[in-house]
Amino acid sequence: MEIYLLEYCEENEYYDFTIERYNLIGLYFTESEAQKAKKSVIIERNIEECYLFISATKIGKLQWKGGFISV
């Protein structure tokens, strides 16, 4: 089963480094529910659409396979 994530991500450059602001806004059973929520957030919170994105992932599946890398 897939779920859909509505996420906010904004990157800002400060001198020689980048600051990223990220928020998980919500989880949805269908892509259409996520799209509806995205439109609502854009209107209600006055957020530019370029900062909001929807992604899908499977429930019950390991997402992070790489593990920690030590040097």
Q: What are the tens digits of pLDDT across the range 37-65? A: 999 999 999 999 999 999 999 998 887 77
Biggest CA pair distance of the chain: 46
pTM (two decimals)? 0.79
Q: Position 4: which residue type?
A: Y
* Amino acid 61: pLDDT: 85
* Amino acid 45: pLDDT: 93
* CA geometry: angle 4, 6, 12, nearest 5 deg: 140
pLDDT digits (tens, 9 = 90+) for 12-41: 898 889 999 999 999 999 999 999 999 999
* Amino acid 6: pLDDT: 98
Rounded Cα–Cα distance for residues 58 and 18 (Å):
30
Closest CA to 9 of 52, 57, 56: 52
